[in-house]
Structure formats: C-alpha cells, structure tokens
Amino acid sequence: MRITVMTADEQIISLEIDPHESVENVKALLEVETQVPLQQQQLLYNGREMRNNEKLSALGVKDEDLVMMVSNAAALSAPSNNLGFNPDGSAVNPGAFQQQLRNDSNTMAQLLQADPELAQVILGNDLNKFQDLLRQRHRQRSELRRQQEEEFALLEADPFDVEAQKKIEAAIRQKGIDENWAAALEYNPEAFARVIMLYVDMEVNGVPLKAFVDSGAQSTIISKSCAERCGLLRLLDQRYKGIAHGVGQSEILGRIHVAPIKIGNIFYPCSFMVLDSPNMEFLFGLDMLRKHQCIIDLKENVLRVGGGEVSVPFLQEKDIPPRFLDEERYSKEASSSGNPVTSGKAEKKNDPPAMGQSSGVARSSLTQGPDFEAKVAKLVELGFGREAVIQALKLFDGNEEQAAGFLFGG
C-alpha cells in the first residue's frame, strides 16, 4: 500500500510499504529520505503516537492514509503541534493543517483521486465542515479497526467454545451478506430502485379512470365511491356480500355483474366486486385479464387485450396521481390475492376473523351446500357433464357465470 508522510518542515514523502510492516522499519525508510535519525523521529497517526514495535495494519493504517512526522526536538520546542490531531480525529490547528495540505500539489492531486470529498472540503473555506469530516473519517477508521480486532479475537478463540463459534458463524454470514450487497450494487443497481406498479387508462361506464393492473388479484375490484362516480352503484347485487381476505381483510358490499369498460377504442364487458375500501379505487384483476385474454408485455411496456387486438401503454410515474402510489399497499389488502369469501349474506360481526385461512379452506366454503348443488344442477341442464361442471365451479371458486363461460369456451 502507499502512505503519505508529512514532515514538520512541510516535506511530503510518499512510501510504498507492506501493511504488516513495523513502525520502526517505516522510520528507517524515512531516515534515508529525510536524514532525520530514527531515534529522533516521532510518527503520529490520527493524533496518536505510533510506537516502534507496532504494525501498520494493527494501527488501522490503510492505503493513501496520511501520517505526520516530527522530530523529538521539534515536539519539545513546539508543544502546540499545529499539525497534530486531537483524540477525536480533528486537527489541533485546522487552519494551519488545511493550509499545509493546500500548499502541497502532490498531496492534493492524490486526494482528488482517492478522496474527492475531503479534497473539496480542504479547498473550501468552512473549517467546521473540515473538522467534522476529519472526525467522521476517524470514527469510520475506529469502527473498522474494532471490527478487525473482533475478527482476530474470534480466530484465536477456543474452537470448542459454543458462543465463540456462534459469533464466528454470524460474522461469516454477515460477510457473505455484505459481499452480496456489494455485488448487487455493482451488477444489479436497479434492484435498489423503486418499482412502479402497472397502471393503464380505462373508461368504466364512460368515466375515465386509471386502472391498477394486478395479475395477483383474483377478482376485479371497484370501490364504493368509484362505483357511485361511474353511476354503477344502482346495479349493486348485495346477495354477494362477504369478506375479502388477503394481507388484511375488507368488507365486500356486493357485486356488479356486468358493465362496459373501454380499453383503447374497444368496449369489453366486465364484472366487479364492490369493496368498502376508500384507499383503493379500481383494480383490474386476474378474472378479467383471463376472460379478455390479456397479455402483460413488459418488454414493450404495454397491456395487450383480446389476444393483441388492442394495446395500451402502462403509465409512467409522472402520469400516476401521487395518492395512487399509496393505494398499491391497500389494494393488496383489499384484493382477493388472498381468499375472498363471498356468500349470500355477510359474515357475522362476532365471527372469528378468518385471517391466514388457506385457499383450500376458502374454496371448500364455496363448493358445498345447497347453493353449490343448485349451480351444478343449473349447468348440467345446459348439457354439460356433472364432473366437468363441478371442476369448472371449483376452478372459478363457485362463480356460476365464469364457470359457464369456461365450459362454453371449452
């Protein structure tokens, strides 16, 4: 590694030296460069005297670090030591130290390459900022030195000490995490950027909306206030009241069986679950994505509908209202990406919450009982086999309309 040594007479010396070299050997090299006898040299690093028997690595000296050298005689004659450091890493005389660095073009050139932040502060006029940065660097070096000392202590620990082995295991795991993080910063920095969810422009019953496209939501959802704004609340079928279970749970007020939505220049029929969720406006879910054979094309950044007959671009972040960016979290709670339970009546308020209910349990509540048998009988009358009807109803969680569409399509 390379270190820079500044002498009391403003001489700058650059040394290429091994990190595990002793301070005494460094002084021997400086004796050749400065003609100052080894016994009269005093080396300071971060305001602390470096003793002859100490190793540079043990002191925390790293590549491109600065070491101060004064002779013992100079130290006695100038007790204030203007170019020294305080115990917290700040300069004893920041103005003199800053000026010394400014006057040395070689040191400044090295700092501009290795530490541009420090170089800019040295060239500036804010001594308080200069001192704060010196203290910050001192804390960073101290923390690094502490971590290294802990690692050395662990390596020398008793191999049969269970607690020591746990600490070694934790240190190895943390090192792997840090390496993985550094690799991600270098090769995959996009992973740390914010991902904007998918929105498209639609019209629901003639009212323009920005629809949140969510293939992880089982059903298409509209809020009560949005349905009212679109003039659809009069069509609300309250027989489909229930509770939508997902990350959280929301009350299902009912269902609107069919209403026109306009995507691009083409109208499509769409059905909605109406939720009492003021934090979510309109979510285009998997049921309608499948029904209308939609393709989420992330390469072209478009939503293709009807197998490609219509393509609408996903909105950029600047085109999405800021309040919608918070709706993404609520939509997951309100959507049926978990398990919606819709029944002929709402759940009783004193029923235990069904949080954490598995999809199998949710579906079993929809695929048994007289209502389910009535749906089976009705579809069988249309000419379909009983087993095929049951499978279709199970596939669409008891939704008679979607099951019929699937059977007719098959």
Known catalytic residues?
Answer: 214
Strand partners, 397: none
- How far apart are alpha carbons 273 and 243 in whole angstroms? 11
Do 243 and 250 form a contact (C-beta atoms < 8 A)?
A: yes
Antiparallel, parallel or unpaired: β 295-297 and 249-263: unpaired
- The size of the chain, in residues, is 410
Do 200 and 313 form a contact (C-beta atoms < 8 A)?
A: yes
Chain Cα centroid distance, residue 193: 7
Q: Which residue reads 């290795």 in tokens?
A: 114
Do 140 and 132 form a contact (C-beta atoms < 8 A)?
A: no
Q: Up-side HSE of residue 130: CA atoms within 13 Å toward CB?
A: 21
**What are φ and ψ of residue 61, in 5° steps?**
-70, 130
